[in-house]
Amino acid sequence: MSTGSRLLGELIDALRCLPGVGNKSAQRMAMHLLERERAGGRRLSAVLAEAMERIGHCERCRNFSEEPVCGICANSSREHQLLCVVESPSDLAAIEQATGYRGLYFVLMGRLSPLDGLGPQELGLDKLVARLEEGEVEEMVIATNPTVEGEATAHYLSQLARAGGIRATRLAHGVPLGGELEYVDRGTLAHAFGTRQEAE
């Protein structure tokens, strides 16, 4: 696409690195920043440059952090005997925002997927095993997504936990709160039915 400006073309192309942003969306964003939001664009540029330079991974949980140990891991009031394993920092954020969970985390930064070249080493499972061997963790909450790869990862993680004598629990899956059975997809309903529990 010709924009008449080499730099504008580069800006549009650079914005396409964002997920779900194609040519048209990138063009709209670039035009908006240049036409109406130059101050916001400058701030975005400065913060983005600093974030790319300074944000790394926590040495304990692998979450994003600009410090060697993130704020959650450094918080002495958290329950250190509970460790929740998630696939991504966004999963961690969702649990923090939606639940009263007060334990610690371990972020895999993916899930086991041999086709994508993601094995135990890429997910930092050696670090997870070392953490479990410290003897502080009593329960590992497995909070991987209910996909084929997520379920395979959960199975692998539960074996790791049991090998270390640690209780492994899995997030419940099934009918959503407020949902009506006739609108729930067949796979979810079958899973919920197969893992039914005693009524209280």
Domains of the chain (ranges, CATH numbers): 6-53 (1.10.8.420), 82-170 (3.40.1360.10)
Comparing C-alpha atoms, which of 20, 50, 6, 15 is closest to residue 33?
15
* 191 has a pLDDT exceeding 80: no
Band (pLDDT 50/70/90 cuts) for residue 198 is: low
Comparing C-alpha atoms, which of 80, 66, 71 is closest to residue 140?
80
pTM of the full structure: 0.84
Q: Please tell me which residue, 174 or 107, carries the higher pLDDT value.
A: 107
Q: 59-73: buried (b, 16+ CB within 10 Å) or exposed (e) per residue?
A: ebbbbbbeeeebebb
**Residue 25's pLDDT is what?**
97
3-state secondary structure of 107: strand
**Residue 85's pLDDT is what?**
97
Q: Which two tokens stand for residue 195?
A: 């893992």
- Looking at residues 47-64, what average pLDDT do you find? 97
Tokens 């479990």, residue located: 132
pLDDT tens profile 71-106: 999 999 999 999 999 999 999 999 999 888 999 999
In degrees rounded to 5, what are phi and psi of residue 156?
-60, -45
In degrees rounded to 5, what are phi and psi of residue 33?
-60, -45
Band (pLDDT 50/70/90 cuts) for residue 112 is: very high
* 167 has a pLDDT exceeding 60: yes
Q: Which two tokens stand for residue 106?
A: 């371990």
Using the Cα atoms of residue 57, residue 169, residue 161 and residue 113 in order, give the sign of their dihedral: negative
Taking a C-beta distance cutoff of 8 angstroms, is the pair 89, 95 a contact? no
pLDDT tens profile 4-44: 789 999 999 999 999 999 999 999 999 999 999 999 999 99
∠ CA 112-114-117, rounded to 5°: 95
pLDDT tens profile 12-23: 999 999 999 999
Q: Which helix (H) or strand (E) holds 169?
A: strand 167-170
